[in-house]
Amino acid sequence: MVVIVGVVAILAVMLLTERGFRRFVSPKIRDIFENVPPFNVVPEPENPDAQRIQFRTSDGLLLRGSLLNADVPNPPALVLFLPELHGSHWTARRYCDALLKQQYMVLSFDFRNQGESESMAGYLPIHWMTEYEMIDVEGALEFVESNQQLDSLPLVVFGVSRGGVAALLTGCRYPRIRAVIADSAFGTMAMIRFFVDRFVKHVIPEWLFALLPNWHIKITLKQAVHLSEAGRNCRYAHLEDEVKGLESANVLLISGARDSYVTPVIAGKLHEVVGKQAELWLVPGAKHNMSRAVQTEEYDRRIVAHFERCLKPAAVTAAASEQRPASHRQITPVAVSEAT
């Protein structure tokens, strides 16, 4: 009996110690998680040839953007371009220049609280993708669906950094998406683990961190994410939880080999999450979001070739596409389960 009581007492002390540890550590990890890196966003001038657009989200915000090549006859597809944090819809021309020359139509918009779009009171966007931004994407897709000219086109998506994460999530949720290009994208949990490993010495002694089992670290990280969600009144979108809906063979991942934020290791982990059928191009000499600036010609060649390859089956059956039932063409998201 004494032995049982002793064991129970030891377990109780261990449990209290473990809970106390996580209550102390999780807020500090949350602070690391919410610290926005100093991104060097290059502004882009307005394009006088662009057709301005606007639409409302399901929660009432007015988002503004632009449509490039709006008057081009018979474009191969409509590209939905999703900009980076603090970027604007005008950057679509820079990244999509080769696609525009190939007569693609390009639609881009500013996410809420960014650029020309309306702001949501009490919300400060950071570099992590939340369901608020995915509501914005849904609004853009509904705008496409409401426009007969746009809705008749094959739909592909292209995003940069946080916008690249949004592009991958869009490919997961919307079966209509034919192809995805994600430049400098990342997985949420893989990224937070990377930064915790890098800055853990500011939270607890490194020797103590090295003793923690992997399951304990994962629980602590998830608790930190939940604390951040509660404090920021948002819900983060986790690609890792939704990737089963993504056709990995239709995904091109681009990342800079000298990126100190989305390092080659993080890019490799994202490649594993998305699936080995996806193509990963690590661009020599490129830092974060600078792949096209470093290797412009090869960048342009690859994005055009990727979309052409993914759209080829659609071109073969273009005549048959008009025979599809309306429900096949609607922008209907795949159901997303709540993350635990």
**Residue-wise pLDDT tens digits, 136-153:** 999 999 999 999 999 999
Give the pLDDT score at 174: 95
Low-confidence ranges of the chain (pLDDT < 50): 3, 5-17, 20, 315-330, 334-340
CB of 102 closer than 8 Å to CB of 76 = yes
Residue 322, CB half-sphere, CA atoms under 13 Å: how many? Answer: 3
Distance CA 168, CA 171 (A): 5
Give the pLDDT score at 25: 74
- Tokens 């986790």 sit at which residue? 238
Question: Helix, strand, or coil here: 337?
Answer: coil
Q: Would you tell me which CATH number, out of the four given (3.40.50.1820, 3.40.190.10, 1.10.10.10, 2.60.120.560), belongs to the domain 58-185+238-316? A: 3.40.50.1820
Give the CA-trace dihedral at 110, 57, 99, 300, to 10 degrees.
50
Distance CA 159, CA 328 (A): 25
Cα 88 versus chain centre, distance: 16
- Tokens 């997961």 sit at which residue? 172
**297-326 CB burial, b ≥16 within 10 A, e <16:** eebbebbbebbeebbeebeeeeeeeeeeee
Phi, psi for residue 313 in degrees, rounded to 5: -60, -35
Q: What six digits make up the tokens of 289?
A: 């979001």
- Tokens 């159901």 sit at which residue? 335
Domain ranges (residues) in the chain? 2-32+191-230, 58-185+238-316
Ranges assigned E (strand) in 188-301: 251-256, 279-283
Answer yes or no: pTM beyond 0.75.
yes
Query: Across the beta sheet with 105-109, what order do the strands follow?
Result: 51-56, 62-68, 105-109, 78-82, 155-160, 177-183, 251-256, 279-283
- Tokens 């191969």 sit at which residue? 76
Phi, psi for residue 223 in degrees, rounded to 5: -65, -40
Give the pLDDT score at 136: 98
The predicted-structure confidence for 186-242, as pLDDT tens digits, reads as follows 988 888 887 777 767 666 777 777 778 888 878 888 888 898 888 899 999 999 999
